[in-house]
Amino acid sequence: MEAEAIPERSEERRADTETADLVVAMLAQVAPDVVGEMCDALETLPGPVRIAVLQNERRETPPSTSSEAPEGSSSKRASVFYVPWPLTKPDSTSSGAVSMFATYQSVFAATDKLQARGCCIMASKLENMAPKCICQFTEPLLEGQADLVLPHYAHRKFEGLLNNSILAPLTRTLYGKRVNNPMGPDFGISQGLLEKVTAKGGTASDNRLHPLASLTPAALCQNLNVLEVHLGSRIYPSTDWANMSSILADVLSPVFLDMERNAPCWQRTRFSTPLPSSGEPCVSSHDVGTLDTARLVESFQLGNRELQEIWGLVLPPSSLFELRKLSRTPVDKFRMPDELWVRIVYDFALAHRLRTISRDHLLKSMTPLYLGWVASYAHDLQDSNAFSVERRLERLSAVYEADKPYLVSRWRWPDRFNP
C-alpha cells in the first residue's frame, strides 16, 4: 500500500518538531489535491492542536496550490505540519498482509515518537471521498470522546465477503458490540489503546498482538469507548480467488489468537448492542456484479473429496455428514445453511487453539468451505437489492449469536462436547 505525496504548504510546516497532539497517515492512493483538501479540513478543527501528517519520505513533494491559514488564527484552529516518515510499501517478496502490518507498525512508531494523543489512519479509497471524513475520525480522539473510531462502509453484494461472513459477525458475537468493520482498515486510535496493543513494556507473549486484528478486541475487552463513522462505499481491490488460501490464513490466524487470549472476556458476554455512530448511513450507488458460483461449488466439492481426513480432525460427525450431503447437491440448488457455516467457523477456531494440525495448514484447508458459503450467499442474493444484503447479513449474525453456547461448550470441554 503506497502513500501518495502530500502537497507542501510552507517550509515552516515541514520544520522538524518534537511533539504533536495527533498523527494522521493518509495511505490511500488518491490524487495529491484530494490529500491537500483533507489537510485543509483538518485545519478547521477547533483549538490550538498540532496535527502531524506523515509524508512518505521516499516521495518527492509537489508544489502547493493551497492557501495559507489567516494570520493570527493559530490559537483557534488546528495547526497542520508534515513529518517525513518511512512508510513501508508492499513489494514482490512480501504479501499484502505483511506489508500492511509493517505500515501500521510504522505509523504507531511515529505516534509514539511524537508523543501524540493518538493517530488516525486513512487507508481506503472511498467512492465519494469527502475531505471532511478525516475530521470525523480525528475529532472524537482530540476531544476524548473515543479510544477507537471504526469505519462503517455501505455494504455491497460481493465485496468485503470475508469481513461479512466471519470477522464482523464473530466480533459482534464474542465481544457484544455490533461492529461492522472490526479490522478497518481505516481507524482512529487513542494513545491509551495504542499502548495496550503495542504492548509497551509488556511480556513476550504480548508480541502476538496484531495492529489490525487486535485493536477492536482490546478496546471492547477493556470497556473503552468505541465509535463508528459512516463513510459510504469503500472501493475494494479485486478479490484474488486464486490466492484465497493464503488470505484466509493471514487474516484468520491473528483473529483466532485474539479469541484464545480474550476467552475470559468473551465467555461472559451474552448479547450484543449497537455502537454509537456518526455520519449518515448510505446505500452504495454501484452495487453490481456477479460471481461464478459453479466454479466456487466445484472447489467445495473437490475439497470435500480431498480434505476429508483433515476435516475429520476438526469437525464433529454431524457437520461432516451435512457436508457430504451438500457436495451432492446440484449447483443451482446449492445452499449451505447458516447454522452449518457458523459451527464450521467455531470448530476451526477451536482447532486453531488446540493446534490439532499445523495452524497454517488448518486455515488453508478451510478455503473450500468458505467458497461454498460464498456460493450459497450469492444464490440467496440473486435479483435482490441492497437492502436485502443488509437483511441477509443480519440473519447470519443472528445465527452466530444464537449458536454461541455451542462455541462456549466446545471451548471449555473440547474432549467431552462432540455432537
Average pLDDT over residues 319-338: 96
Across residues 61-66, what is the average pLDDT? 38
Distant-in-sequence, close-in-space partners of 49: CB < 8 Å, separation ≥ 6: 21, 22, 78, 79, 142
What ranges do the domains of the chain cover?
A: 12-278, 293-412
Most confident of 5-19, 74-88, 386-400: 386-400
Buried b (16+ CB within 10 A) or exposed e, 36-48: bbbbbbbbebeee
Which is more confidently placed, 63 or 102?
A: 102
| Residue 67 CB-density burial (10 A; 0-12 exposed, 13-18 middle, 19+ buried) | exposed
Give the pLDDT band (50/70/90) at residue 280. confident
Domain 12-278 CATH (choose: 2.30.30, 3.30.450, 3.40.50, 3.90.550): 3.90.550
- Per-residue pLDDT band for 267 (boundaries 50, 70, 90) equals very high
> pLDDT at residue 174 above 70?
yes
Determine the average pLDDT of the residues in 324-344: 96
pLDDT level of residue 14 (50, 70, 90 thresholds) = very low
Q: Tell me the percentage of the chain whose pLDDT exceeds 70.
A: 82
pLDDT of res. 204: 34
Residues 6+ apart with CB under 8 A from 160: 153, 181, 234, 236
pLDDT at 317: 94
At 149, is the pLDDT very low, low, confident or very high (cuts 50, 70, 90)? very high
Q: Is it the case that residue 16 has pLDDT exceeding 50?
A: no
Over residues 69-84, mean pLDDT: 67
Confidence of residue 5 (pLDDT cuts 50, 70, 90): very low
Q: Tell whether the model's pLDDT for residue 189 goes beyond 90.
A: yes
